[in-house]
């Protein structure tokens, strides 16, 4: 475990385990790198190096007031990969982490990354735009932001219940809730506004590495029709892998399948 300082002085927490081919994990909103516990468990045993980053505002990273844009997150990821001197990584971004990964690949010219894995990504566009009428209505997303402003504990519990297609234990749902409560309230709000409003379609043209998109067909948070399918069409070297028994939280709905897919792709 280590803290790496970004260019604006913010300390970003990194968990770095193993010695094999590196897989860098970027978590979703409003969680932290610990959401990938069961990926770390299996992939470390398979001989991979697993690197989990807590984005600023989340987990054990600093939680400043201010910029929670995809540019800022991407720059923090670059600081981590530079400091760790990573080569040939698989960059694996889940949900908001998928948006961060998409922006990173464009903004930083794919530095350090040989393969891109997008897991139920909040990318390239979530909400309706004048030229993208198929997106979610902002009114579908805004209650999450308002909930973070007024009763973040309740919002996190309701969001945790939205994640999965398969039955999960009450204890696991509570654990997911607890990860969300480790985030700062202001970061939760600001970064939700980021993924609500972002349009990453121009970034897709800059992605040239092999890309896999792993997406649950029952995803109600980032529906596969407006994210996964658009990414497969827009990224030159991309393949969409459908998870037929998963909602948004495919890392838990189909843990064995996603771990096998990642090991095959990153190996």
Q: Could you say which of 54, 112, 248, 253 is catalytic?
A: 248
- Cα 50 to chain centroid distance, Å, stands at 15
Measured CA to CA, the distance from residue 249 to residue 89 in angstroms comes to: 23
Rama region for 59: left / alpha / beta (φ>0; ψ in -120 to 50; rest)? left
Closest C-alpha to 219, from 138, 123, 131, 145: 123
Q: Which of 54, 219, 246, 253 is catalytic?
A: 219
User: φ and ψ at 250, to 5 degrees?
Assistant: -65, -25
End-to-end CA distance of the chain: 24
Tokens of 181: 């409560």
Reduced to 3 states (helix: H, G, I; strand: E, B; else coil), residue 2 is: strand
236: enclosing H helix or E strand: none
Q: How many Å apart are CA 46 and CA 132, to the nearest integer?
A: 41
Task: List 5's β-bridge partners, or say none.
Answer: 11
Known catalytic membership, residue 186: no
Question: What is the enclosing helix (H) or strand (E) of 197?
Answer: helix 185-197
Catalytic residue among 61, 95, 191, 246: 95
248 is catalytic: yes
Catalytic status, residue 219: yes
If residue 240 lies in a helix (H) or strand (E), which one and from where to where?
Answer: strand 238-243
How crowded is residue 96: how many other Cβ atoms within 10 Å of its Cβ?
Answer: 29
- Catalytic amino acids? 95, 219, 248
């Amino acid at each position: 475990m280590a803290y790496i300082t970004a260019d604006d002085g913010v300390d970003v927490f990194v968990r770095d385990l193993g010695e094999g081919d590196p897989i860098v994990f970027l978590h979703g909103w409003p969680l932290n790198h610990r959401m990938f516990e069961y990926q770390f468990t299996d992939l470390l045993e398979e001989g991979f190096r697993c690197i989990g980053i807590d984005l600023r505002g989340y987990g054990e990273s600093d939680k400043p007031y201010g910029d929670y844009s995809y540019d800022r997150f991407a720059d923090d990821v670059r600081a981590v990969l530079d400091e760790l001197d990573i080569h040939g990584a698989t960059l694996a971004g889940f949900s908001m982490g998928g948006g961060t990964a998409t922006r990173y690949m464009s903004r930083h010219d794919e530095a350090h990354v040989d393969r891109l894995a997008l897991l139920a990504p909040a990318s390239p566009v979530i909400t309706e735009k004048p030229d993208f009428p198929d997106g979610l209505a902002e009114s579908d997303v805004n209650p999450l932001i308002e909930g973070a402003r007024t009763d973040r504990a309740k919002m996190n519990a309701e969001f945790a219940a939205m994640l999965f297609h398969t039955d999960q234990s009450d204890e696991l749902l509570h654990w997911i809730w607890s990860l969300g409560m480790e985030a700062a309230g202001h970061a939760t709000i600001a970064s939700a506004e980021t993924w609500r409003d972002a349009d990453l379609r121009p970034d897709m043209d800059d992605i040239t590495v092999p890309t896999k998109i792993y997406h649950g067909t029952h995803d109600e948070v980032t529906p596969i029709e407006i994210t996964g399918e658009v990414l497969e069409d827009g990224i030159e070297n991309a393949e969409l892998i459908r998870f037929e028994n998963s909602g948004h939280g495919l890392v838990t709905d189909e843990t064995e399948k996603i771990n096998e897919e990642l090991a095959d792709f990153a190996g």
